[in-house]
Homo-oligomer: A and B are copies of this chain.
């Protein structure tokens, strides 16, 4: 019995939803609304004491952190379509990409996301209501992030993140040229494709049109369109809040 606690099918949530649907693994979907801070509710903290989504519950045991969850799905469901290469060297390349994406790209996109998304949410609360919400957040660094987003990140930090994103886009464009496509590592669609799409590639042209456009990264945009046509990914990306 598998339950995924998640929010919208982009970034962290998209990453695990795409893997689950690509592998055709059945699961219960539990929507955790970040707009109303459900991730810090006592009910959800009983599921994941760190108060973060997504989290996967498998037979009553909780697994957290998207790259860990996605490798777990590979290990625990060996009879489903693989998203991790069998060949050790190609698996290592996939993990190098995942580390780069998790450590640099995700952070950089996330700060723009926090500035525009979480910042707006946070400014919608009075000082008192906001502080009450902060008091429920178990991870101190998450409190710092919410406070910074509410105040607004310095322009210098936002510029530095845009620069990181531009470098990542150039790197992926070069990799697609080198691998010959259709996917980052060549013939096989892997967790690295899912990872870059979820954090950056999918929203690139709308979130950062000056960085990601047909002049700067035609191969990347074609790659993103191919991902959206995959039945598993399309199903994941169509995930909606319960009515």
Q: What residues make up the interface of A, taking CB atoms closer than 8 Å to B?
A: 58, 61, 63-65, 67-69, 71-72, 75-76, 88-89, 91-92, 95-96, 99, 103
Chain B residues with CB below 8 A from A103, complex form: 103
- Sort A-B residue pairs by CB-CB distance and give the 8 closest, nearest first: A75-B88, A76-B88, A72-B92, A68-B95, A63-B92, A68-B96, A65-B99, A68-B92
Stoichiometry, copies per complex: 2
| Closest chain B residue, CB of each to CB of A56 | B92
Is there an interface contact between A89 and B68, defined as CB atoms closer than 8 Å? Answer: no
| Closest chain B residue, CB of each to CB of A99 | B65
In the assembled complex, how far is the CB of residue A92 from the closest CB belonging to chain B, in whole angstroms? 4
Most B CB contacts (10 A, CB to CB) among A63, A71, A88 go to A88
| Closest chain B residue, CB of each to CB of A61 | B89
Tell which of B64, B91, B99 touches A72, judged by Cβ atoms closer than 8 Å: B91
| Closest chain B residue, CB of each to CB of A78 | B88
Identify whether the interface residues of A are mostly helix, strand, loop, or mixed. helix
Extra 18 A-B pairs, beta carbons < 8 Å, given A63-B92, A68-B96, A72-B89: A58-B89, A63-B89, A63-B96, A64-B96, A65-B96, A65-B99, A67-B99, A68-B92, A68-B99, A71-B91, A72-B88, A72-B91, A72-B92, A72-B95, A75-B88, A75-B92, A76-B88, A76-B89
Chain B residues with CB below 8 A from A91, complex form: 71-72, 75
| Closest chain B residue, CB of each to CB of A75 | B88
| Closest chain B residue, CB of each to CB of A77 | B88
In the assembled complex, how far is the CB of residue A143 from the closest CB belonging to chain B, in whole angstroms? 13
Most B CB contacts (10 A, CB to CB) among A75, A76, A99, A103 go to A75
Chain B residues with CB below 8 A from A68, complex form: 92, 95-96, 99
| Closest chain B residue, CB of each to CB of A68 | B95
Chain B residues with CB below 8 A from A88, complex form: 72, 75-76
Chain B residues with CB below 8 A from A64, complex form: 96
Kindly state the separation between the CA atoms of A88 and B61 in the bound complex, as whole angstroms: 12
| Closest chain B residue, CB of each to CB of A58 | B89
Chain B residues with CB below 8 A from A69, complex form: 92
Chain B residues with CB below 8 A from A99, complex form: 65, 67-68
